[in-house]
Amino acid sequence: MTRRHVGVLPGFGPTLGITVFMVSAVVVIPLMGLFVRSAGLGFGGVWETVTTPRVLAAFRLSFGASLIAAAINAVIGFLVAWTLVRYEFPGKRIVDALVDLPFALPTAVSGIALTALFAPQGWVGRLLAPLGLPVAFTPLGVTLALIFIGLPFVVRTLQPALMDLDAEVEEAAAVLGAGRWQILGRVVLPTVLPALLTGVTLAFARAVGEYGSVVFISGNMPHKTEIVPLLIVAKLEQYDYAGATAIGAVMLVLSFAILLAVNLLQGWTGRHREGN
Amino acid sequence: MSIEARHITKTFGAFRALDDVGLTVPTGRLMALLGPSGSGKTTLLRIIAGLEQADYGSGQVLFDDADVTVRPVRRRGVGFVFQHYALFRHLTVFDNVAFGLQVRPRKERPDKDEIRKRVGDLLRMVQLDTLADRYPGQLSGGQRQRVALARALAVEPQVLLLDEPFGALDAKVRKELRVWLRRLHDELHVTSVFVTHDQDEALEVADRVVVMNEGRIEQEGTPDEVFHRPATEFVMRFLGEVNQFHGRVDAGRVAFADVELDAGDHGRLAGPARVFVRPHEWEVSLAAPSQAAIRAVVKRVQSAGPVARLELRTAEGALLNAELPQETLERLGLAVGSEVHVTPRRLRVFAADRVPPTPGV
């Protein structure tokens, strides 16, 4: 029992130490502070704060729009990654670089740009408004902004997985009689599913916490287009620190539960990796 | 089902991978396509499978007498085994083998019990029935290739095509698997073509061997024919080691390395020639024999193994390789520094003025 296992890789002790320290200092301790702060309200107080209709509506919008945006990003992101990995076309490098732009822009800039485009007088909004499809200042607009900022996560996590996918595997399926859709559904998608899930999870996590790009296009109407992060800021501006931290803590628990579930799902889809 | 490929030409950009190649594989035969890398053997196999198309307007592929040239790969009914297995890594061994049955349209698909039974039979045949629930990542290379073979056979193909099936495996497993492939073929009699660059593999396993070089077929024949009666210099060199000499043929006699011998079958040639002797075809003696012999000194003896290998230096300074049975080595008492006389029991002569054909001419 006391024999020390000496691995080939050096530095297990120090690296684990630093990892634990950083995760504690940067993630766990501040989050604990959140709970400590909101604990001042007591359980009943927290419950009362987060079950007001306005807060509930914000939760529904934040998580609902984020889930829808993540789902749409799964499809669009897959197509973009597939195109970038599988085909050669002029301007491919430029398209590849453009994918990263939502990462790089200050989110407020994206928000203003999207609002300018989709506002009823904007270039695109002008065309959509007569169709009875207002985008800006509606939940649709919120979803659109979340799709915009989430896309790079899906594309960038899928790209290496698709590059890894051997063309021979698809050929093998074709020789065995599979059609194009069967190859896509039975071979390509299941093989890259773990990476796709990672990307979608990242996009979702980012979307739930997104603030800058959403507040402009949403219009922030209570009960309609108000997202949770904005509500928190609003509470802070009214010096309701306890209320803000209570909402924050609940949001944290919900996000953590969803991320944990996805993680378990991922372990299940990646089960064939064991032994590799 | 027999396979016939006619006038197949395939170019990749400026590179001509196949140059008007024709090939016939009779029903139930196991044929090897043998050649160095870049000789076009894999391209030919992939064209037969339908994974690649011959250049537009060139060539035809026929299964029995049906023209399948434009039939898509999924409807050709072939089994294909890839060098790197190409297994579906997210599926178990069982599901990998069942894949070809499960993707069939509903009315042609066997029911669940039938699939289970057929996959079970195949896994028993490849001796992997105990590993049906594993994933490919948990198997060794040899096991993976057997799964790939079972998967290819599950759809009961009329034609089995194997692309360097043992190329990624280590020497011992390769040897076991090729014996096993031969036995399997003798049981199933599926018309099969396999690609290899390993002449031992081709000669040991196949009924017929096609030797390819630079997009053309150099020779086709039984393993005996291509080994003992190579049609071209390339085949001679490719199928085993050679000692090469520059010489001349005149009036039925061949002169090289200060000896002159009867040219035998090659007597019809005249002029400059290249002479080839395989290492095991030297007669080595201590005393000068009655016929012309090359004088040489033993430079190196490597006697670990059933056959002893000698490196000899001739009086002219050229190096020769010779192989002798252990007993002969001991009987002659050869060691480094021994002076010997060597004469070929058998030699092959090719005219030296004939430039081998180059692709694209």
Condensed to tens digits (0 to 9), the pLDDT of residues A189-221 reads 998 998 999 999 999 988 988 888 888 888 788
Chain A contact for B137 (CB, 8 A cutoff): yes
Nearest to B320 by CA among B344, B285, B289, B349: B344
Over residues B170-186, the pLDDT tens digits come to 888 888 888 888 998 99
pLDDT of residue B353: 67
pLDDT of residue B205: 92
Hey, of A176, A182, A189, which one would you mutate to test binding to chain B, going by the most B CBs within 10 A of its CB? A176
Residue A168 to residue B80, Cβ atoms within 8 A? no
pLDDT of residue A6: 63
Other beta carbons within 10 angstroms of residue B108's beta carbon come to 8
Over residues A138-149, mean pLDDT = 89
Distance from CA of B43 to the nearest CA of A (A): 14
Please enumerate residues of A whose Cβ is less than 8 A from a Cβ of B: 166, 168-169, 171-179, 182, 186-187, 190-191, 193, 269, 271-276
SS3 category, B126? coil
Position with higher pLDDT, A137 vs A77: A77
In chain B, beta strands by DSSP E: 3-12, 15-25, 30-34, 60-63, 66-67, 78-81, 159-163, 191-196, 208-213, 216-221, 243-250, 253-256, 259-262, 271-277, 282-285, 294-302, 307-314, 319-325, 339-344, 348-351
pLDDT of residue B360: 37
Phi-psi region of A134 (alpha: psi -120 to 50; beta: other; left: phi over 0): beta
Residues B86, B43, B70, CA angle at the centre, nearest 5°? 95
User: What's this model's pTM, rounded to 2 decimal places?
Assistant: 0.80
Do residues B247 and B256 lie in contact, with contact meaning Cβ atoms separated by under 8 Å?
Answer: yes
Residue in chain A closest to B76 (alpha carbons) equals A175
Residue in chain B closest to A171 (alpha carbons) equals B51
Residue A174 to residue B73, Cβ atoms within 8 A? yes
pLDDT of residue A43: 80
Residue A172 to residue B80, Cβ atoms within 8 A? yes
Q: pLDDT tier at B357 (50, 70, 90 boundaries)?
A: very low
Distance from CA of A70 to the nearest CA of B (A): 24
Over residues A173-196, the pLDDT tens digits come to 999 999 999 999 999 999 899 899
Q: pLDDT tier at B291 (50, 70, 90 boundaries)?
A: confident
Look over chain A and give the mean of its residue pLDDT values, rounded to a whole number: 86
Q: pLDDT tier at A245 (50, 70, 90 boundaries)?
A: confident
Of A175, A178, A191, the CB nearest to B78: A175
Across the strands, what pairs with B244? B276
Residue A176 to residue B78, Cβ atoms within 8 A? no
pLDDT of residue A46: 81
pLDDT of residue B358: 43
- Chain B residues whose beta carbon lies within 8 Å of the beta carbon of residue A191: 88-90
- Chain A residues whose beta carbon lies within 8 Å of the beta carbon of residue B82: 168, 171-172
Across the strands, what pairs with B294? B342
Chain A contact for B73 (CB, 8 A cutoff): yes
Of A169, A174, A179, the CB nearest to B88: A169
- Chain A residues whose beta carbon lies within 8 Å of the beta carbon of residue B135: 271-272, 274-275
Position with higher pLDDT, B356 vs A161: A161
- Chain A residues whose beta carbon lies within 8 Å of the beta carbon of residue B151: 172, 176
Residue in chain A closest to B157 (alpha carbons) equals A176
Distance from CA of B109 to the nearest CA of A (A): 12
- Chain A residues whose beta carbon lies within 8 Å of the beta carbon of residue B87: 169, 172
Q: Number of Cβ pairs closer than 8 Å across A and B?
A: 85
pLDDT of residue A10: 76
